[in-house]
Amino acid sequence: MAKMKFGEVEESLVTREEFPLSKAKEVLKNEVIAVIGYGVQGPGQALNLKDNGFNVIVGQRKDSKTWDKAVTDGWIPGKDLFGIEEACERGTIIQYLLSDAGQITLWPTVKSHLTTGKALYFSHGFGVTYSEQTGIVPPADVDVILIAPKGSGTSLRRMFLEGRGLNASYAISQDATGKALDRVSALGIGVGAGYLFQTTFKKEVYSDLTGERGTLMGAIQGIFAAQFETLRENGHSPSEAFNETVEELTQSLMPLVAENGMDWMYANCSTTAQRGALDWWKKFRDATKPVFSQLYKEVSSANEARVVIEANSKSDYRAKLDAELNELQNSEMWRVGSVVRGLRPENN
């Protein structure tokens, strides 16, 4: 395990240099990795593990759209694609990649196949951290580990196919076998992580829920909407408002941030833009910091978990979710966005 300083803080990392793929394959050579769930994270992680040469099988409910997707992706029924119970029985490492709601529902089934020495793997700390609400309490004689890629399963797969890695966090909640660190490190390298940084199940879910509701999804959509609507209310055309709000950020400026940091992006913009950004960014920080503080309290108090579980358990949840997503899709900003994306040179 490597040690690296981030500012004044030293962190524990697992890198490909110290833990190469060859070592990961040696660690897991006698393991059967059963990926349970083929929705958001399942396909990317399972396919990356398979392409990296690990013994991996998929467990999914038969006669479902995700079963059909797995077949389309090359998984063969009876060979490396099974019903959930059979996959859990065969697996020595069970990657529990169903949705949080799905994990709650299926937990009694999965738990019944967690025999001594197996490993239970998560990509989200939700189920274990909020065990009072979820009922997910693993038996004491299995390893309980976590690899949380910092992005969607789609991004994980795309970057793997491009020869790149998506950074991920790792955590060990329970080391029953004494092999948990090697197992989790090997799995992180196997699914295609760029490097692994250490966390805990609780810290992972707290940061993840805050991030999803914050800068990754909720806050960015709110800021997009506020600026777009302000420009439209002041007579700017839909195309101008969208390009100034979304297109320039995502297509021009964010790649510069990813390449070499925010200061690098600033340095590649006009002095007028730099002056304005430097004058205004702290105002936005001060305006939104109270919202983020409130958000973190809601997450750490388990209130957000309660809201999610209650919403997901309702029979009309999917219909209501689809209605909310349709409202977003049909807003002027994102209808304009669909047209603008179609005008990009690569699409013509």
φ, ψ for residue 211, nearest 5 deg: -65, -45
Q: Among residues 124, 183, 213, 232, which one is catalytic?
A: 124
d(CA 314, CA 28): 40
d(CA 259, CA 248): 16
Q: What strands lie across the sheet with 195-198, from one edge to the other?
A: 2-6, 9-15, 195-198, 168-174, 143-149, 119-122, 93-96, 33-36, 56-59, 81-82
d(CA 191, CA 151): 13
d(CA 117, CA 141): 6
Q: Any idea what the Cα angle at residue 147 is, between residues 143 and 149, rounded to 5°? A: 170
Sequential DSSP letters for 142-187: SEEEEEEESS-HHHHHHHHHTT----EEEEEEE-SSS-HHHHHHHH
- Helix residue spans in 163-253 (DSSP H): 180-190, 201-213, 218-233, 238-242, 248
Q: Active-site residue 124, yes or no?
A: yes
Contacts of 63 (CB under 8 A, 6+ apart): none
φ, ψ for residue 9, nearest 5 deg: -105, 130
Catalytic residues, by residue number, are: 124
